[in-house]
Amino acid sequence: MRSFTYTLLLLLVTVAVSLTAALRLSQGSLEKLFGAPATGVGEYLYKFDTKDIRRFVLSGNGVRAEAVFKDGIWHLKKPWDDRMDPRAAAAIRQFTIGTRVEDIIPEGKIDTAKADLREGTIGIQITDQDGEEMARYLLGRKTEWIHRDEESGEEFPTVFIQPLDDGREGFIYACTGDIHPIFKDGFRHLRDHHPFLFNPFGLESIRIQGSDSNLVMARFDAQAPWRIVQPLELRTDPEAVKKLIEDLFKLRAVKVSDRSEVTLPADDTNGRQKIAIRHFGQEEEVVLEIYPPATPEADTVLATVSDRPGTVFELRLKPLGPGVAEDGSPAAEGSGDEVVSLAGLPDTVNELRNPMLTNIDVESLQGILISPATSEEILVAREKGQAWQYRHNGRMEPINEIAIYRLLKAMTQTKVAEFVSDAAVNLEPYGLDRPSLSLRFASFGNEGFEIVFGQSREGIWYAMRVGVPTVMRLDDEFIFEIFTRSWQWRHPGVWSIPAIDLIGFERDMEGRPPLVLEYDFLTETWKAREGGVDRGPELVTDRANRLLKLLLDIQCDTWLAPDDPDALAALAKPVLRFKLAVKAYDKNAMFTGIEERELVLAPGSDSATNVIFYGRIGNDPHAFLLGPETVRRLAVDLFGDD
């Protein structure tokens, strides 16, 4: 029979265990009492909210690293007092909550030494702001297993992980993912190799100071466009500014060292370059100071940054080439691993300024005065919401849409080949002392500007805005886009004849008898005589109707100068002539009789392969060009089969 003492002892133990279990159960789990069950295959090894993470403690091969999250940035406390690479912090965080169990090995069923789960291996501890442990585990070597995603087919490596959390001992897991690279070389990859850490959308100003220049870009708010404010007030090139900001964001040192470990070049401030950035609401700039290269052949230079005074960066001076990573291997497209070199930064006024010849708002444009040095002025204008017209013989007439399109396209899409000078005084070398061409633009509201063009003795074209001492070099193709002769602005419609006013027409064609057609608009009927013979019954009405429409609406390819020698020679021997009988009216719309309109056409040559045809209307001094297909349709046979 058991003693009373023994029975009492058993009762006390039972009560103690029950109380402990009750306490653990009140915390929502019995895991800390009896040990966590093995996480199932396919499940996440850890589950917690990453926004609660405040501290990493990392160890491996005798090195201990400690990082804390403060003021939105990860800081290394050991083995260096420096900023942690946010990508490394993100990798540890995402690996810990993202790794899934691929296989489960009870402890004792695997050689932990062979799995690199031993003293000196990589250890990771994650805690929250109260110091409570969120995860603690050993990271072993890669396993032989490969995880394949069922949906994408993508393959992932797996690694051995041994959780060390209270109550989770007893199991080793093969889990997806691998973050070994960030722990190489004594944890040096944990240290942020980027001199700058900034929010691209929060930048207010960028200052680039060289030995003999100081460039400042700024904007009024986060939505405002960037402008160059020093040394000149200039618009910027959005693409160049975007590249500069992206390059500064990606700028990464080849090596990062403590200030005490490096001997910086002698204090020669004239040879240094400074790049300074400032966020909205920030009082002081963050300044990157770049020292001169040790030798002219050096590929790298040393630099310091003001918000990390104890750190020295070795930056790549010369580019490795497009698509090349830091180690010389090809960089994966879009990976962000491409090396940014200082030489590749767009850091000069001419690289960052807006390269467009003008920044015209076409919608607000009211008029353009084209003033060639050797011919009459051309005024192009419009009323608000109306079509463009040009001034001809003292009145506004319909315009050649191609001419206005080419001019506006040239003015708004032409990039300056080179900004030659921003303080030009002597304009003679550029031919701008006596411009070959002037264009004056006026907008609704009386705003406007003038730009002049000149040609140097070497035949190079230059431009400048009147009142601004900036000389720009242009490619030669630009000047050919500007029509400087009045006839080039003429509407391509060779005449305007309403069908209701046409009585008939005569067609004289080489090799055929004269053809006379009479037309009644109201009944849409035709009469036809060829060589004096009535051929009305044989007339194919559909062909006659199509010929009539083409004849009344005919448009030329381009108008020519009145003294064009080729046109004059060709039209002296026309092969096709039309004489139209048209009703005439006075200014009060009163009928005054019948008038004749004449169109003559001639080929550019007698060759069977000729594709050029000239035309002229009556006594108009300007001939024009017509395409061969139009001429073929004008010469169509109106009788019988094709």
412 shares its domain with 513: no
Given 489, 515, 534, the domain boundary residue is 489
Q: Is residue 21 part of a domain?
A: no
Burial, 175: exposed, middle or buried (Cβ in 10 Å; 0-12, 13-18, 19+)? Answer: buried
pLDDT band at 6 (very low <50, low <70, confident <90, very high): very low
Q: Is the peptide bond before 231 cis (omega within 30 degrees of 0)?
A: yes
pLDDT at 1 over 60: no
DSSP structure class, residue 58: E
Residue listed under structure tokens 């929250």: 128
Q: Which of 446, 445, 441, 429 is nearest to 466 (CA)?
A: 441
pLDDT band at 270 (very low <50, low <70, confident <90, very high): low
Mean pLDDT to the nearest integer, 53-78: 92
- Tokens encoding 524: 């849409």
pLDDT band at 614 (very low <50, low <70, confident <90, very high): very high
Q: Is residue 357 part of a domain?
A: no
Q: Which of 218, 323, 326, 331 is nearest to 279 (CA)?
A: 218
Q: Is residue 32 part of a domain?
A: no
Which letter, b or e, does each residue of 423-453 get, where b requires 16 or more Cβ atoms within 10 Å of its Cβ? ebeebebbbbeebbbbbbbbbeeeeeebbbb
519 shares its domain with 470: no
Mean pLDDT to the nearest integer, 190-195: 94
Residue listed under structure tokens 């207010």: 204
pLDDT band at 212 (very low <50, low <70, confident <90, very high): confident
Q: Which of 404, 556, 399, 413 is nearest to 477 (CA)?
A: 413
Q: Is residue 28 part of a domain?
A: no
- Tokens encoding 393: 């013989």
- Tokens encoding 358: 């003008």
List, in order, residues 6 or more apart from 278 with CB less than 8 Å away: 203, 204, 205, 284, 285, 286
pLDDT value at residue 321: 59
**What percentage of the chain exceeds 70 in pLDDT?**
90
Mean pLDDT to the nearest integer, 354-358: 94
pLDDT value at residue 558: 94
Does residue 322 sit in helix, strand or coil? Answer: coil
pLDDT value at residue 3: 45
Given 301, 317, 352, the domain boundary residue is 352
Amino acid at 309: P
240 shares its domain with 330: yes
Mean pLDDT to the nearest integer, 27-34: 39
pLDDT value at residue 184: 86
Q: Is residue 81 part of a domain?
A: yes
Which letter, b or e, does each residue of 454-476 get, where b requires 16 or more Cβ atoms within 10 Å of its Cβ? bbeeeebbbbbeeeeebbbbbee
378 shares its domain with 479: yes
pLDDT value at residue 331: 46
Distance CA 44, CA 419 (A): 60
pLDDT at 86 over 60: yes
pLDDT at 78 over 50: yes
227 shares its domain with 168: no
Half-sphere exposure of 259 (CA within 13 A, CB side): 10
DSSP letter string, 112-128: TTTTT-STTSEEEEEEE
561 shares its domain with 600: yes
pLDDT value at residue 421: 94
pLDDT band at 66 (very low <50, low <70, confident <90, very high): very high
Sheet holding 525-530, edge to edge: 533-534, 525-530, 515-520, 502-509, 576-585, 591-603, 613-617, 624-626, 558-559
Q: Which of 266, 255, 261 is nearest to 291 (CA)?
A: 266
Contact 316, 328 (CB under 8 A): no
pLDDT value at residue 584: 93
Query: How many domains does one find in the chain?
Result: 4
507 shares its domain with 558: yes
- Between the alpha carbon of residue 386 and those of residues 102, 394, 537, the distances in Å are 72, 19, 47
Q: Is 16 or 450 the better-scoring residue by pLDDT?
A: 450
pLDDT at 234 over 90: yes
Range of the domain at 401: 362-489
Mean pLDDT to the nearest integer, 171-181: 91
Half-sphere exposure of 495 (CA within 13 A, CB side): 21
184 shares its domain with 213: no
The backbone torsions φ and ψ at residue 414, rounded to the nearest 5 degrees and listed phi first, read -75, 130
Given 432, 454, 489, the domain boundary residue is 489
Q: Give how far the C-alpha of residue 545 lies from the chain's centroid of Cα atoms, to the nearest Å.
A: 52
Contact 129, 90 (CB under 8 A): no
pLDDT at 23 over 50: no
What torsion do the CA atoms of 118, 124, 128, 129 make, to the nearest 10 degrees?
100
Q: Is residue 116 part of a domain?
A: yes
- Tokens encoding 414: 């032409």
162 shares its domain with 256: no
Distance CA 639, CA 517 (A): 12
Work out the mean pLDDT of the chain and round it to a whole number. Answer: 88
Chain segment 296-351, per-residue pLDDT in tens: 889 999 999 999 999 999 999 987 655 555 554 444 444 455 679 999 999 999 99
pLDDT band at 120 (very low <50, low <70, confident <90, very high): low
Distance CA 316, CA 338 (A): 12
271 shares its domain with 320: yes
- Between the alpha carbon of residue 65 and those of residues 61, 134, 605, the distances in Å are 11, 17, 88
pLDDT value at residue 626: 95
Q: Which of 479, 399, 408, 403 is nearest to 437 (CA)?
A: 479
pLDDT at 220 over 80: yes
485 shares its domain with 564: no
Distance CA 345, CA 270 (A): 20
pLDDT band at 27 (very low <50, low <70, confident <90, very high): very low
Tell me the H-state helices in 223-381.
238-250, 349-352
Mean pLDDT to the nearest integer, 168-181: 87
Q: Is residue 12 part of a domain?
A: no
- Between the alpha carbon of residue 435 and those of residues 10, 313, 374, 409, 551, the distances in Å are 112, 52, 11, 22, 43
pLDDT value at residue 132: 93
The backbone torsions φ and ψ at residue 367, rounded to the nearest 5 degrees and listed phi first, read -155, 155
CATH number of the domain where residue 551 is located: 2.60.40
The backbone torsions φ and ψ at residue 493, rounded to the nearest 5 degrees and listed phi first, read -70, 120
Q: Is residue 57 part of a domain?
A: yes
pLDDT at 629 over 70: yes
348 shares its domain with 327: yes
Distance CA 73, CA 86 (A): 8
DSSP structure class, residue 151: T
Distance CA 164, CA 136 (A): 5
Distance CA 208, CA 217 (A): 9
Contact 192, 264 (CB under 8 A): no
Q: What are the E-state strand segments in 149-272?
A: 155-163, 171-176, 203-209, 214-218, 227-230, 234-235, 255-258
pLDDT value at residue 145: 85
